[in-house]
Structure 1
Amino acid sequence: MNKEAINELEDNNIDGAIKLFQKAVLEKRDVQSLTNLAWVLWHEEDDLQRALSLVTEAVEHKPTSHFPYSLCGELLLRNERYEEALKMLQLSISIQPTKAAFHNMGVAYYYLGDTVRAANHFGQAAGKSDYTLYNQVKCLIECGQLAEAKRLITTFDESDEDFIGEVDIAELYTELDLHPEAILWFEKGWEDYYKQPDWIGRYIHSLIKTNQETRAHEIINEVIQEKKDELHEAEREELDADWSEQDKQENMLKLTNEIKSYENMFEDVRAGNLLELLLEPSAESGCYLFGCERHQHPEYKN
């Protein structure tokens, strides 16, 4: 039945797959049936509470696979139950260390205020140029390990398939007060990023810090004109089933407020009014389906 349910899932017959996974649980509430139903309810239905209840029951069977612990830890993390999530993820890693579990432990430690442990666990999960590495560098900056942060930030590779993006790197450089490097990365990402006051403000900050005030004014004027053009287009935008008058008015108000923000930006930034660069790491997931042929997962054996 499990194989049939997974085949239905592969064929994108979600309702049929869920019915079969549910039938498997009704027949026998064991590690495999509970974990698989929990996984599919979360990934296909976004039903966090039902999924968490099922996988918590699976964990009570003391499974020998990391799947139930990894899934339970992830769901507890998404439910902001960080201490409980850590316990599950530690059990998961004791059975089989995975990047997702280390990353999620980093997330839990971060929201518990332990940036040192967060940085350590992100480091054990980080790729060459991904957001987990970004999280690690930001945590290192926050806990004062600046030398290591400066070393790691130079390892980001634009050609890597998981590269986070130029402006993200630039913002880390501003956090490190390495403004010439920040400007270089802001320039690289200028054409590709949507213009928003938060990162533009950091760009202006770096330009002011390197005595490039004329360039800072040029950047601000360019963005103001771009936003005025966007506002003009928004005023002429036609309404349809997916774009109401309220949507239109809210968008125009947003653009108007952004223009005002840019008009005051130079003086605000020079006065030290810079938006804090917030780190909001999120949980990572994985395939924890027993018997998944795509990922070559065996069925659970007691």
Structure 2
Amino acid sequence: VDSIGVDDVFIANLIVGSQKIDRLLKLSEKAKVIVGVDSVEVAQPISDYAMKCGLKVPVLIKIDVGLQRLGVPYGRPALELAKKIDKMKGLELEGIYTHEGHAYGVTDNNQIKSIALEAGHKMIQTAEMIRKTGIEVKTVSVGSTPTVRTSLTIEGITEVRPGAYVFNDYFEMRLGVSTEYDCAFTILATVISVPSEDRAVIDAGTKSYTSDKAQAFGVYGLIKGMPDVHLVRAYEEHGVINMPEGKLKVGDRIEIIPNHVCPVVNLFDEVVALRKDKVEAIWKVSARGKLM
């Protein structure tokens, strides 16, 4: 953490197991590292280990507002957990957080806005319930890219954590929350074969852009600036494109907007940053391979 100049970071996930807790505590000696908890079973071991090391680990309680993945239900169940965590001597309860990822399950902007408002209000309601018992709630954090614009308008939300928002991707385009112009991250590929007039093969496959959402979308990504060219099949090192006759030839280069940019970034050691078609910087992907 300190090697890249970060001294305050939130790991929006649950840390379970002695090896992970040990790594967490070592990081906590170098920087402020906040982690999520959603049960006593997750929180208590962290507290116990921290006490042995003379540390207090800051935590946020993960609240389930509708995604039904991680998290304690909002409202009273969250309040009861907060009371228990507040008594753990190795933890410092800083607040609550959620991920309203169920917004990805709709395609209408009004529905997305409704999910954002509902999630925000559930979080604020939960925070107020906890505060009324005398427990401080400094942070009320929400996060997802589709909902970010609405979340920013909700009074009482102290933090928003959009992820794909940094680069955007084809998923966000399909939801109507970004355009092709907004998508900053692409994979550069080269046409290496044109077996027929309407089919081309490129030198990039699932090792470059994953197979995420391909079954749902019918393509493995969007070819930038070529709406009539479709990446319809993918193998580890190859992609197969359907196209109008003669559209591409061997040696042509194309840019692929990934279906889901988040896992794609983790596949590369470096990102080449361009401005007006000139290389401005090369960014090292510092968290490459750093999986939970």
Higher relative contact order (CA 8 A, sep 6+): 1
Structure number with bigger Rg = 1
TM-score (normalizing by structure 1): 0.29
Higher strand share: 2
Higher helix share: 1
